[in-house]
Amino acid sequence: MKFDTPATSNPIDQLKVVGKAVDRVDGPLKTTGTAAYANDRHDVAANQAHGYIVGAAIAKGRIVSMDLTSARAAPGVLAIVTAENAGKLGKGTFNTAHLLGGPDIQHYHQAVAVVVAETFEQARAAAHLVRVEYARAQGVYDLAAATDSAKPVESNGAAAETAVGDFTVNFAQAPVQLDASYSTADESHSMIEPFASVAAWNGDQLTLWTANQMIAWTAADAAKTLGIPADKVRVASPFIGGGFGAKLWLRADALLAALGARAARRPVRVAMPRALIPNNTVHRAATIQRIRIGADRDGKITAIAHESWSGNLPEGGPEAAAIQTRSLYAGPHRMTANRISVLDLPEANAMRAPNEAPGLAALEIAMDEMAEKLGMDPVAFRIANDTQVVPDNPAKPASNDPQSKAPTEKHNPHPPFSQRQLVECFRLGARRFGWDKRNPLPGRVRDGRWLVGLGVAAAIRDNLVMKSGARVRLDRRGFVTVESDMTDIGTGSYTVIAQTAAEMMGVRLERVVVKLGDSTYPISCGSGGQWGGNSSTAGVYAACMKLREAVAQKAGLAVGTAVFANGQIRAGSRSIPLGEVAGDQGIVAEDAIEFGDLNKQFQQATFGAHFVEVGVDAATGETRVRRMLAVCAAGRILNPKTARSQVIGGMTMGVGAALMEELAVDKRLGLFVNHDLAGYEVPVHADIPHQEVIFLDEVDPTSSPMKAKGVGELGICGAAAAVANAVYNATGVRVRDYPITLDKLL
């Protein structure tokens, strides 16, 4: 089904099941410990051996020699795979560094071997007997020292640099100016489930049971890396204990399980120890950001510039933190730039709301600082600079000529937002939170030993859409089974997909069976970029439209007038149970939703306003978050319960980014020092006393037939800055370098 005109009324609008806060359909499996996570897959292949990864002990250089003698002789060892004996390996589309390094080492803890043994403990013990001699080369590990060499770089098709009007002149002439620099830290995804995979070969056919967000990408990259045909790889990932972007692609656990299984001629399981994850896998890159804002005395922005610097391995992408500044606030004169320096730290890549999460962490402090300079309330200042069109939408270079700056034919420099209720989010949030009680003078409110402050920030995150397929089957019991390679990374995909099928086919939720996360099912959008909920359910909608047609045809009824309700198809006076129509053979339909260019005609974005109250201990500088409210406008909310969970999860990660999360860089050796959950701190329940989420009523007919948008990444956007602004309001200390640890407040 092609989706290229705004959606009209359709069966989803009944909202009998969709839009209801139903419990997760996969909840009982998870709460009873029976959900099959990758490292629990004892069942899928008999005689599993265990692989243990050896990570490189240098950040850059070469392996001079490897001595495997002692390791090979250790008890239980079956095979050791290194770059020397692995055979020729390709490189996937999505990983920057090789997943099995050697002889060249590209980053610290890059895998250099996998030791396969009968038991996990034997593999681990033998892995420590692998002797590697390195020749260390000098790398570049300090972003702040490397910005001079930075180059502007585009990010997933978004221009590296943009300019509208004349920023320099108009900033210089602005009566009120801010010029400030901010930094955000390297961050680790820290999802609850570490990386793990079971690999089994059946002849030349490989199956990977793994933890992964994007099944089709990963199957393709496994095939590409191993040099085998794509149809020889099956990837199964039915349950995933969080991903946040770290599991978007093939990682070393899956590849080394496959290589280990090939060498040992046995199924092999590789579970990555937590302490290997920050350096071996991916992280969110640190940023340095310079923001300049000029405004007239009435608080209208006249000039705004946002420049961002981040680092990555050669050929790695940027953390494009300036991107949202092209669309969030009005202002005639503007410039943005995303620049990147080559660093020899581990691979940087997408983490929940890449670009916007660190970008808004800086921009929304800058807006707070600017409001103070203007003597304006920070909510009023933001409302005064709202825009209903995108102020800075650069033309994309013609695709056949990357050098060309010629705009594409349909390019609109100022497309309208399909929906933009940012102002409404602020107004409602301010009322609900009691914003009028905020003392605009910082450091004046005391509650016992606590200095109390309130902070606010805007959230914006684009609504991306992706082609997504599904297969639906109606059986003689009247059950509907949905199959799709869509994943559920804790987001609620199983649940919203079940709701969609139930709504479309007029059956109770209990009569829908959802099977996900397997490459033998139709290719979906997968879970990433907060596109999963809307796009995957739209794919199920498309398949169900076909199934409705097939059912009506078999029943001898006109699909145009047929009603699907109460487990029956009804037209005129005739009413037939769906199971009866399906008969013994059942009825199967498959389709995919494909998106036209509605998201170019209309800028589809999601919006929110964060309100935070903190207390800062007047003596120790310890910050405690006291309450948080997010008001969100994100299209139709398919399930308020799972959507709320996504938003509070994002808000919680925002608190982490604001107050505690930081991969500490050893700038001599080029590694992240704090590589486990003892050293890398994330918020826990005790850190988050009260969170509230309000969704505004919104349907977006340009987004999909579901009229929904993403929420999975919106909640983190702006949350860190709201905390930072509350800390400033509490203390009068303006910290521009995240995380805001207590030493920076004293």
The residues that are catalytic are 713
Nearer to ligand MOS, 500 or 530 (CB): 530
Continuous segment of H or E residues that includes residue 475: none
Nearer to ligand MOS, 290 or 352 (CB): 352
Our finding on whether 490 is near ligand MOS (CB under 6 A) is no
Continuous segment of H or E residues that includes residue 414: none
Nearer to ligand MOS, 286 or 629 (CB): 286
CB of 242 to ligand MOS, least distance (A): 10
CB of 472 to ligand MOS, least distance (A): 26
CB of 608 to ligand MOS, least distance (A): 17
Our finding on whether 354 is near ligand MOS (CB under 6 A) is yes
Q: CA-based angle 649:354:653, to the nearest 5?
A: 25
In this chain, which of 61, 299, 529, 670 binds ligand MOS, going by CB under 6 A?
Answer: 529
In this chain, which of 200, 252, 351, 542 binds ligand MOS, going by CB under 6 A?
Answer: 351
Number of residues that bind ligand MOS (CB under 6 A): 11
User: What Å distances lie between residue 336 and 316, 319, 371, 464, 554, CA to CA?
Assistant: 20, 13, 21, 21, 58
Structure-token pair, residue 241: 């204990």
CB of 461 to ligand MOS, least distance (A): 11
Our finding on whether 266 is near ligand MOS (CB under 6 A) is no
In this chain, which of 19, 92, 245, 705 binds ligand MOS, going by CB under 6 A?
Answer: 245
Structure-token pair, residue 625: 């978050």
SS3 content of the chain, % helix, strand, coil (to 5): 30, 25, 45
Q: Which phi and psi (to 5°) does residue 281 adopt?
A: -100, -125
Residue window 164-183: x/- pattern of binding to ligand MOS, with contact defined by CB under 6 A: --------------------
Our finding on whether 350 is near ligand MOS (CB under 6 A) is yes
Q: Which of 499, 503, 506, 516 is nearest to 478 (CA)?
A: 506
CB of 529 to ligand MOS, least distance (A): 4
Q: Which of residues 65-104 bind ligand MOS (CB under 6 A)?
A: none
Q: Where are the beta strands (DSSP E) in 36-125?
A: 49-55, 61-67, 77-82, 104-105, 111-117
Residues 6+ apart with CB under 8 A from 512: 25, 479, 480, 481, 482, 498, 501, 502, 505
Nearer to ligand MOS, 293 or 351 (CB): 351
Nearer to ligand MOS, 82 or 468 (CB): 468
Our finding on whether 248 is near ligand MOS (CB under 6 A) is yes
Our finding on whether 650 is near ligand MOS (CB under 6 A) is no
CB of 350 to ligand MOS, least distance (A): 4
Distance CA 281, CA 220 (A): 19
User: What Å distances lie between residue 341 and 142, 151, 268, CA to CA?
Assistant: 10, 7, 38
Q: Which residues pair with 67 in a beta bridge?
A: 131
User: What Å distances lie between residue 84 and 89, 113, 222, 285, CA to CA?
Assistant: 11, 10, 19, 31
Q: Which of residues 198-227 bind ligand MOS (CB under 6 A)?
A: 213
In this chain, which of 194, 243, 492, 621 binds ligand MOS, going by CB under 6 A?
Answer: 243
CB of 352 to ligand MOS, least distance (A): 5
Work out the burial of residue 307: count CB atoms within 10 Å of its CB; fewer than 13 is exposed, 13-18 middle, 19 or more buried.
buried
Nearer to ligand MOS, 48 or 645 (CB): 645
Nearer to ligand MOS, 302 or 487 (CB): 487
Stretch that binds ligand MOS, among 137-145, 240-248, 404-412, 726-734 (CB under 6 A): 240-248
CB of 239 to ligand MOS, least distance (A): 16
Our finding on whether 318 is near ligand MOS (CB under 6 A) is no
Q: Which phi and psi (to 5°) does residue 362 adopt?
A: -90, -50
Nearer to ligand MOS, 354 or 490 (CB): 354
Distance CA 663, CA 185 (A): 7
The CA-based diameter of the chain, rounded to the nearest angstrom, is 83
N-term to C-term CA, the chain: 59
Stretch that binds ligand MOS, among 59-67, 237-245, 571-579, 649-657 (CB under 6 A): 237-245
CB of 357 to ligand MOS, least distance (A): 9
CB of 367 to ligand MOS, least distance (A): 24
User: What Å distances lie between residue 557 and 440, 582, 696, CA to CA?
Assistant: 67, 14, 39
Our finding on whether 358 is near ligand MOS (CB under 6 A) is no
Stretch that binds ligand MOS, among 348-356, 407-415, 502-510, 730-738 (CB under 6 A): 348-356
Strands 205-210, 233-236: pairing is parallel
- The residue sitting closest to ligand MOS, measured at its beta carbon, is 245
SS3 category, 361: helix
DSSP code per residue over 508-530: -GGGEEEE-SBTTSPP---S-TT
In this chain, which of 41, 262, 266, 352 binds ligand MOS, going by CB under 6 A?
Answer: 352
Stretch that binds ligand MOS, among 57-65, 81-89, 238-246, 533-541 (CB under 6 A): 238-246
Q: Which of 505, 502, 484 is nearest to 493 (CA)?
A: 484
What is the DSSP-derived secondary structure letter of residue 415?
P
Stretch that binds ligand MOS, among 25-33, 123-131, 350-358, 627-635 (CB under 6 A): 350-358
* Residue-level length of the chain: 746
Q: CA-based angle 516:577:548, to the nearest 5?
A: 50
Our finding on whether 528 is near ligand MOS (CB under 6 A) is yes
SS3 category, 334: strand
Q: Which phi and psi (to 5°) does residue 275 adopt?
A: -70, -10
CB of 509 to ligand MOS, least distance (A): 27
Distance CA 38, CA 536 (A): 23
Stretch that binds ligand MOS, among 259-267, 347-355, 400-408, 595-603 (CB under 6 A): 347-355
Do 638 and 708 meet the contact criterion of CB atoms below 8 Å apart?
A: yes
Report the interface residues with ligand MOS, using CB under 6 A.
213, 243-245, 248, 350-352, 354, 528-529
